[in-house]
Amino acid sequence: MKMYFSFSSRVNRTLSEKEIARNALLSDLEQTKKALEIAYAGFDNVTEPDLIDCYIYEVNSVLKRYKFLMEQAAALCLLPEENTHPAALNTEAPVTSLTG
């Protein structure tokens, strides 16, 4: 019985710098989305005024990081065409009505 194996399965493929940057950016975006969910959950579950302020600042901070990462993704052409326009990014913090 003859067996044939693909040569490509034995070749060790290295990632290019662009692929490494893309993977790191996507990983950062995923971590930031999880951090935002945690910040919103914390905000929803506190009643102390100091903790409310803390979570408002945390949500705003994570939103700024998310905005920055989305702009980086747009620069690397990782976003679909409809999301690459700067107006498509929602930059207003949803908790601004709570602080004013």
Q: Looking at residue 84, what is its pLDDT?
A: 46
Alpha helices by DSSP H, listed for 45-75, are 49-75
> Full-prediction pTM beyond 0.75?
no
Torsion sign (Cα): 75, 57, 42, 97: negative
Distance CA 93, CA 90 (A): 8
Q: Assign 7 a pLDDT band (cuts: 50, 70, 90).
A: low
More confident residue, 63 or 6: 63
Q: Assign 66 a pLDDT band (cuts: 50, 70, 90).
A: very high
